[in-house]
A and B are shown apart, each in its own frame.
Chain A
Amino acid sequence: MTDKELEQALRGALRPRDPGADFADSVMARLDAERCSSRVPPAIQTAARRRLYRWSLPAALAACALAAIGLVHWRNETAARERGVEARAQLLQALSIASAQVSDARAAILRDEGQLE
Chain B
Amino acid sequence: MRFRFVLIMPTLLLLPLLAQAQSGRLVLPDFSDLARKASQSVNISLDPSMLGLAGAFLNADPRSSDSDVKSLISGLQGIYVRSYTFERAGAYSRADVEAVRAQLTAPGWVSLVSTHDRQDDVDIYVRRNGQRTDGMAIISAEPKELTIVNIVGEIDLAKLAQLQGKFGVPSINFGSSGAAR
Contact B113 A105 (CB under 8 A): yes
* CA A93 to CA B43, docked complex, whole Å: 10
B119-135 contacts to A, CB under 8 A, are 120, 122, 124
Please, which residues of chain A bring their CB within 8 A of the CB of B151?
Answer: 98
Determine how close the nearest CB of chain B comes to the CB of A113; give it in whole angstroms: 9
B140 is an interface residue with CB less than 8 A from chain A: yes
Near B by CB (< 8 A), chain A positions 77-117 give 83-85, 87-88, 90-112, 114
Q: Which of A101, A103, A108 contacts B117 (CB 8 A)?
A: A108
Interface residues in B74-132 by Cβ distance below 8 A to A read 79, 81, 83, 113, 115, 117, 120, 122, 124
Tell me the chain B residues, 141-155 only, with Cβ under 8 Å from chain A.
147, 149, 151
Residues of A within 8 A of B11 (CB): none
- Residue among B157, B176, B181 making CB contact with A104, cutoff 8 Å: B181
- Cβ contacts A15-59/B at 8 Å (1 or 0 each): 000000000000000000000000000000000000000000000
The range of chain A's interface size is 20 to 34
B180 in the interface, Cβ–Cβ < 8 Å?
yes
Nearest first, the 3 closest Cβ-Cβ pairs linking A and B are: A107-B179, A87-B54, A108-B115
Q: How far is the CB of B57 from chain A (nearest CB, A)?
A: 4
Binding site for A on B (CB under 8 A): 42, 44, 46, 50-51, 53-58, 69, 72-73, 79, 81, 83, 113, 115, 117, 120, 122, 124, 138, 140, 147, 149, 151, 157, 160-164, 167-169, 171-172, 174, 176-181
> CA A94 – CA B50 in complex, angstroms?
13
Bound: A94/B42 CA distance, A: 9
Taken together as a complex, chains A and B put the C-alpha atoms of A114 and B177 apart, in Å, by: 7
**Assembly CA distance A58 to B40 (angstroms):** 57
* CA distance in complex: A104, B73 (Å): 21
Give the Cβ gap from B160 to chain A, nearest Cβ, in Å.
5
Given contacts A105-B113, A110-B178, A112-B115, contact A99 B169 (CB under 8 A): yes
